[in-house]
Each structure stands twice: as structure tokens, then as C-alpha cells.
Amino acid sequence: MKLLILDDDIQIREGVEKSIDWRCAGIDEVKSAGDGVSGLKMALSFRPDIILSDVRMPGINGLDFLREIKEVLPRSKVILISGYDDFEYLQKAVKYKADAYELKPVKVQHLINLVAEMKEEILRENAAPAQSSEPPRYTPKIMKAVDYINAHFDKPITTAALSKTLGLTPNYFSAVFKRETGISFNAYLNNVRLKSAAYLLEHTSLLIYEIADQCGFHDYIYFSQVFKKAYNCSPRAYRTNKKQPG
């Protein structure tokens, strides 16, 4: 497994390259470059599996580097590291398909864990048959988020808490979640809750406010509003219609 490090700060670059025992994380070869232009040239010949890139660099910045490298080495995993939790940066990182977006300062152990996680993801992708008909719909972290929502939709779930669990910034998590699922995090969560509520309305005799509470809607008025918007009728009318014979 090959790792490429891009950072114009020589102390940071050499520190990440030489002071970390990358072999313990399953990395066999490590190279580094001080700017996007030389980094792009090196990547084309070195063909790294994983790339750590600072966002702000002279010549070609990290975002432009990301866009270029994903065109020629689409299977390389790119981790962008930035001092800015800026929406414009995040938008471009998502658009150009960054595999992770980390904010400075990044702790050494977290960085090692992140690279190891990317390595495992690459191994899983390589192990899948080339012509398999069972490819995953979402990337592993978004799949974990979806699984968590499906299992805990009755509890309070926030973007901040879930993104922290996954090791992502809230803004980046929200953007990637929407890119992969096609809808926002809150819309996805509400859809899961509403489907469960509709099922309980049809198949149980629970009171409507009890159903709302069991499905994670702890505000009955809000539940009625979003349900009516989704199903074009009130929860009570939905239950009546579904229970009518024939």
C-alpha cells in the first residue's frame, strides 16, 4: 500500500512522513511533495493508494489537486486537511469526491487510524469481484450512518453527534450524506420515522400521540404537519382510510 503526503510546510511534511511508523498501519511506501504541481507529477508515477493533502498550497491547491487526481487515479483515496471549516471548501471537496475532510490540528493517532481505515476500504473494494452484481450503494461511513438511523430513529439523533461518531466534520458529513442518498440528513431521518409511523397507524391500535413519540416525533403538532405533507392527509385520516374494508 502506497501513501503520498502533500504539504508546503516542510516541518509538517517531513514530520508526518518520517516520524510516524506507517508500516504499523499497513503502509509499505511513503513519499511526499511540497506543492500541488510536483505532487501531481509524483502521483502519476508513484500511483499512491492513499493521499494526504493540505488544502492551501502554492501552484495547484489541494482542491484543484483533488479534482485533477480523481480524473486520472479515481481509485486513490484522498484525505484533505484544512484549517478552514468553510462551506465553499466543503462544497468543492464533496463535488470533487474527497474521501475525507479533516480540520487542523489533526492528532497523530487519528491520522493513523484514518489512513488504516482507508486501507481497509481499499482492500474490501479490491476483494470484490470485478463484475459483481452486489456493489454497496453507499460508502462505509454513510452506510454506518444509514444503519444507525434505521436502528435508532426513535431516539434523538443530531448531525453533530453522528458525524462526531464517524470522525467527520458536521458540514462535510451533511454534504456527503446528501450526495450519496440524494436527500438531506434530516429529510432521510424524517422519511424513516414517517414510514414507521404509517405502519403503526395501519397495523396497531396505539393512540396517535403514542405512535408519534415511538417514532421519534416528540412534538405532536410537528408530527402531524410533516405527516400531512408526506401523505396528503392527517395521521387520523390515514388510519381511517387504511382500515376501511375493501
- Under CATH, to which class is 2-127 assigned? alpha beta
Beta carbons within 8 Å of 22's beta carbon, 6+ residues apart: 3, 30, 115
What confidence tens digit (pLDDT) does each residue in 195-205 have?
Answer: 989 988 988 88
The residue with cell 403514542 is: 210
Q: CATH fold of 136-246, please?
A: Arc Repressor Mutant, subunit A (1.10.10)
- The rounded Cα 172 to chain-centroid distance in angstroms is 7
Contact 96, 9 (CB under 8 A): no
Closest CA to 33 of 24, 41, 23: 41
Q: Got the DSSP string for 141-163? A: HHHHHHHHHHHHTTS---HHHHH
Residues of the chain with pLDDT below 70 are: 87, 128-133, 135-136, 244-246
Contact 60, 94 (CB under 8 A): no
Residue 95: the pLDDT is 82
- The rounded Cα 199 to chain-centroid distance in angstroms is 29
What confidence tens digit (pLDDT) does each residue in 129-187 have?
Answer: 544 447 557 888 898 999 899 888 989 999 999 999 998 889 889 999 998 899 999 99
* Domain ranges, ordered by start, for the chain: 2-127, 136-246
Phi, psi at residue 183, to the nearest 5°?
Answer: -135, 165
For residues 76 and 99, what is the distance between their CA atoms, to the nearest angstrom? 9
Residue 133: the pLDDT is 45
